[in-house]
Chain A
Amino acid sequence: MALARYKNWLLWAVLMAVVIGWFGWGGRPQMVGLFVASGLAVGSLYALGGIGIVVLYRATGVLNFAGGAAGAAGAMTAWQLSEWGLWDPIGWLACLAVALAITLVYGRLIAPRLAWRETVVKAVATLGFALIVLGLVSFLWIDDPRAITLPTDGIGVRILGMRITATRLIVFAASILIVFGIWLFLARTRVGLQMRALANDRDLAALMGIPILRVETIAWGISGVLAGFTGLMFADLIRLEPTVITFMVIPSIAAAICGRLENLTVVLLGGLSMGVIENMLTLSPVLRGVRPIAPFVIAALVLLYYQRGQRLTFGGRD
């Protein structure tokens, strides 16, 4: 019984060990370690994006495609402010504020008008908003190579003989802390309880007098700040380009799928595994070219695994 309970975890651990062992075989342990470490950083970005999506989806029923666009707008603002010579922390705060503001505009002004539509249509509507934001951002900052550097990029930490930049450690630690924080928030606070009630049954929660607008606004706010943070980190670690950051939502959704759009811990682990596996593929001469495909394949396999043994029956809601 105990074994059956932990079977999924065991399977996951074995699979990860096999993947790392397979691709890392013959490489120097330190090099493999570096690949795993930078994979964990990229995976944390996927996971952070996924967490924002899941929190919002559970509380409001909206799958938000616009998180990446909000993050892109924030990151570009941060770049602009540092270009104007402002003190860097102001730029970082501005990044979070811009992403928060953009997300709240959608959450308060547009989302309520679509409350009665199907989930998929709601998701597609956020894509419309993402296009508006992306169009404006690309109009304001025309295509040009840019980069954001955080002071932590220069600081290296030695772990097991490997030098890892502090930014990567921060992203990794942040993803874990954020999952823990959100878990605490959902489990211990009144708003968290109301959010869980909404996620459980929206109509019933509304009948019980839960202040839906307030709870939803808080959820939009959380996802907005997360989007801003993810955008800033993505711009620093990978690339500062609005289109790329905007469509980072697609692998984030892959991470969210791993947690069935509900379990934050699994979203975190799924995102991290995706990042690591994607990076390990670099070591394979055959699969190197297709390595960005990893998140999608993993998400598809995870979905297939979840529904094993299920039959098409009279389902309830989606």
Chain B
Amino acid sequence: MKRLFHVTPSGWAGFALAAFAIVVLPGLSSSYWLSVFTSAGCFLLAISGVAFLYARLGMVSLTQVGLMGVGGWVALRLNHAFDFPFEVNLALAALSTMVFGWVLALPALRMRGLYLALVTLMAAGGLEILFATFQFPNGGEGFWGVKTGSSDPFRRPFLAQSAEDYLRYVLICAVLGFLFIELHRRLQPGRAWALIRRSEAAAMAAGVNVTLYKTWAFGITGLLGGAAGALLAGSLGLLDDGTFRASESVMIFALAVVGGARSWQGALIAAILYKVLPALLNIWGVYADLSFVIFGAGLLHAVITAPDGLAGQALGGLKALLRGKDRRDA
């Protein structure tokens, strides 16, 4: 029990940063930055899901943004059809995306490595076209609920009506997402995943139900992606199909690798690169297409020089620094 709730130094750093971000950040931000940070928070949650799947099981999901779209669609649909509070919409969106992820995963899980990645890429391509064709509900009639003109309002959580409070809300959700993953990692599923990561054969020989635990992990990724999509819907009030292209899903995975999939710092770096950096470049007036170039070059650099991502590089540097200091003190 003690080990279950043990907080590592990295965990303390995470809590401190989260507390800082939740207490101080919203007060310092203009409305532009509030919306940037809020969507960065949503994508942080989604990235934590892909990064977890890749780091713990070596499984590659190239459809995370598509799953966000599914979650966002469900949340918008529920919002415009019923009078549920936001939390109910959020929970239902996350759960139905989890189920969607399972349906997607069950046939895909017999495949490994590249093939699994390609199946999820096909799913992302399919979802992209579905979103573009049917659009996201905005209060219209019928099942698809699309009308022309301005959309109906989206109810935000009771506790977080203002943009500042909503940013806090999203950040808290992101922290809860990380804790949810960490809890799983320390319990039986985490042990099973560790074994599967090493060798599926060994895991099977040891009596681990490989399919169950792989599906479970995929479900968690879907849950986090769906929640992220619903939160994004809450931030903007409406969703646009351009957000959920297959290329964005690939990009999210790429950035998770760039940041470093093994740590929360990596997911944070990925979210910042994905949302905050383009916003900065926008302010500095860098030509949008050139930001692609910077992005791509950063991706290549990170993939070639840093197997554990930028976070791994930075943490490694920090450790080396501390070790050097100890040696000098001794």
Q: Could you tell me which A residues sit within 8 Å of B by CB distance?
A: 63, 65, 110, 113-114, 117-121, 123-125, 127-136, 138-139, 247, 250-251, 253-254, 257, 261, 289-290, 292-293, 295-297, 299-300, 303-304, 307, 310-312, 314-315, 317-318
Contacts and interface: CB of A to CB of B under 8 A. Distances in A.
Contacts of B287: 139
B254 A128 contact: yes
Contact of B129 (A119, A121, A293): A293
Given A121-B303, A128-B298, A139-B287, 16 more contacts: A63-B114, A124-B299, A125-B304, A128-B303, A132-B296, A132-B297, A135-B291, A139-B289, A251-B125, A254-B122, A254-B125, A296-B122, A300-B119, A300-B123, A303-B115, A318-B112
A138 B246 contact: no
A135 B303 contact: no
28 contacts: A110-B304, A119-B113, A123-B117, A124-B250, A124-B299, A125-B300, A127-B296, A128-B254, A128-B298, A130-B296, A135-B290, A135-B292, A135-B294, A250-B121, A254-B122, A293-B129, A296-B126, A300-B123, A303-B115, A303-B119, A307-B107, A307-B110, A307-B111, A312-B200, A312-B204, A312-B211, A314-B200, A318-B115
Q: Chain B interface secondary structure, helix, strand, loop or mixed? A: helix
B204 A314 contact: yes
B133 A290 contact: yes
A63 B125 CA distance: 17
A121 to B, nearest CB: 6
A299 B125 CA distance: 11
Interface of B: 58, 60, 107, 109-115, 117-119, 121-123, 125-126, 129-130, 133, 200-201, 204, 210-211, 246-247, 250-251, 253-254, 257, 287, 289-300, 303-304, 307
Contacts of B119: 300, 303
Contacts of A131: 292-293, 295-296, 299
A124 B254 contact: yes
B289 A138 contact: yes
Contacts of A119: 113-114
Contacts of B122: 254, 257, 296-297, 299-300, 303
A125 B121 contact: no
Nearest to A106: B300
Contacts of B304: 110, 113-114, 125
A120 B60 contact: yes
A134 B292 contact: yes
A134 B115 CA distance: 26
A124 B303 contact: yes
A318 B130 CA distance: 30
A113 B305 CA distance: 9
B303 A114 contact: yes
Contacts of A317: 113
Nearest to B211: A312
Residue in A120, A127, A300 with the greatest tally of chain B CB atoms within 10 Å: A120
Given A125-B303, A290-B130, A304-B107, A318 B296 contact: no
A65 B304 CA distance: 17
Nearest to B304: A113
B242 to A, nearest CB: 12
B48 to A, nearest CB: 18
A131 B246 CA distance: 14
Nearest to B204: A314
Contact of A124 (B200, B201, B204, B253): B253
Nearest to A69: B296
Contacts of B111: 303, 307
A132 B130 CA distance: 28
Nearest to B205: A314
A135 B293 contact: yes
Residue in A119, A124, A138, A307 with the greatest tally of chain B CB atoms within 10 Å: A124
A152 B304 CA distance: 44
A110 B297 CA distance: 11
B299 A310 contact: no
Nearest to A318: B113
A110 B304 CA distance: 8
Contacts of B204: 312, 314
B40 to A, nearest CB: 20
B312 to A, nearest CB: 14
